[in-house]
């Protein structure tokens, strides 16, 4: 069973303090890095290769991986591509 690939990617928008510039970047969550043996002093990963959201975007289930059950924060965050800045030309009036 494979979910849509877009469920593990999302676009983030940042607004500059002036309120005129936005920056978009695509974020992907890759392999799970949760150490399941930390409580016994060991190191063991579950082998989950990519985050797949359990629910729709905007719900609490969207932060839980359908493959391994871990929170999205345990998965390696990868930013794809260079951020695109969409700014109007600045005016230099004094």
Position 55 scores a pLDDT of 96
What is the residue range of 52's domain?
5-86
Outline where DSSP puts E strands in the chain: 9-15, 22-32, 75-86
Residue 48 domain-assigned (yes or no) = yes
Domain membership of residue 21 (yes or no) is yes
pTM strictly above 0.85:
no
Tokens of 37: 């043996």
DSSP structure class, residue 66: T
Q: What is the pLDDT along the chain (94 residues), one digit of tens a residue?
A: 444 444 455 555 555 555 566 666 799 999 999 999 999 999 999 999 999 999 999 999 999 999 999 999 999 999 986 555 555 555 555 4
Round to whole Å and give the CA distance between 20 and 80: 23
Asked if residue 92 is part of any domain, the answer here is no
The structural domain count of the chain equals 1
Residue 78 lies in a domain: yes
């Amino acid at each position: 069973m494979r979910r849509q690939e877009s469920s593990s990617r999302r676009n983030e928008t940042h607004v500059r303090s002036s309120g005129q510039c936005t920056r978009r970047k695509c974020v992907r969550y890759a392999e799970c890095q949760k150490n399941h043996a930390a409580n016994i002093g060991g190191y063991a990963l579950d082998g989950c290769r990519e985050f797949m959201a359990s629910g729709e975007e905007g719900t609490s289930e969207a932060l839980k991986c359908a493959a391994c059950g871990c929170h999205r924060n345990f998965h390696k965050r990868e930013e794809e591509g260079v951020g695109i800045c969409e700014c109007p030309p600045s005016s230099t009036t004094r």
